[in-house]
Chain A
Amino acid sequence: MTDSSHHKPFRMNVTTRDNAIVLVVAGSVSMTDADRLQEKLVELAAERVAVIVLDLKEMNFICSVGLGAIIVGYLKCRHHAGQIRLVSPVPSVRELLETTRLTKLFDIYDSIEDALAE
């Protein structure tokens, strides 16, 4: 599908640091993309690392199905006492996380280093 100015292409990139995984989520997590995010988070949760950091600074949109994908990852990680931490959501996404009260489930950090420091 052609991507317009509204729908920034959904991209993910995974890097590993010590006992953590950093997943960069960029672009729009739209209704057509949320399943891929969920599949990736379930795959990463299966690695049973202590922390998965979601770097959101380049994610400009996420729908409720995308939020659900992050929650599914959170529930999978909880099986082994793992955590998902969020980094640098853009203001509109941060407001969305606050509106849904998901800030109660997920800690938000200003940088990847801060998220890994705890």
Chain B
Amino acid sequence: MIEKSIPTDLTAARRLTEEILGRAEAVGYGEDDRFAIRLALEEALINAIRHGNKFDHARKVTVSADIGAKRTTITVCDEGAGFDPAAVPDPTVDENLEKPCGRGIMLMRAYMDEVSYNTRGNEVRMAKRRCSGLPRPAGQH
């Protein structure tokens, strides 16, 4: 289990992303899974830093990542006021396609198996089953 509190800083967030991806690779997750975990984690961290903590360096982002052999669970918590994820417009509808922002939550949901928020809306929990890089069952060649 990786549990860390990082400053509200994109470089620190990227370093932590690298550490978590390194763990996933060591456990044996394949490229597709690591792409999905990386994308969802980056989106959660960007939201926490930009929208949650509003780039306030006095605030922290707390991350926990449990990289299991079959399943990964990641929680990202900021110190902001929280928000209602249901109120975020769907970025894939025609009228929103040209908006530069607003795709983070949709991508987390698209690339992870489970995404949920706490009541306050300042903590996202994501889970993904390992799909790639699994050892072949005995008897298969």
Contacts and interface: CB of A to CB of B under 8 A. Distances in A.
Interface string B30-73: 01101100110011011000000000000000000000000000
Interface residues of B, number: 33
Contacts of B82: none
Contact of B98 (A5, A31, A32, A75): A75
Nearest to A63: B42
In this complex, the member of B34, B42, B45, B101 whose beta carbon has the largest number of chain A beta carbons within 10 angstroms is: B42
Given A65-B46, A71-B98, A92-B32, A32 B107 contact: no
B99 interface: yes
A42 B10 CA distance: 22
B103 A64 contact: yes
Interface of A: 1, 4-7, 30-32, 61, 63-65, 67-69, 71-72, 74-75, 92, 96, 99-102, 104-105
13 contacts: A30-B14, A30-B17, A31-B45, A32-B10, A61-B39, A63-B39, A64-B101, A68-B103, A71-B100, A75-B98, A75-B100, A92-B31, A101-B97
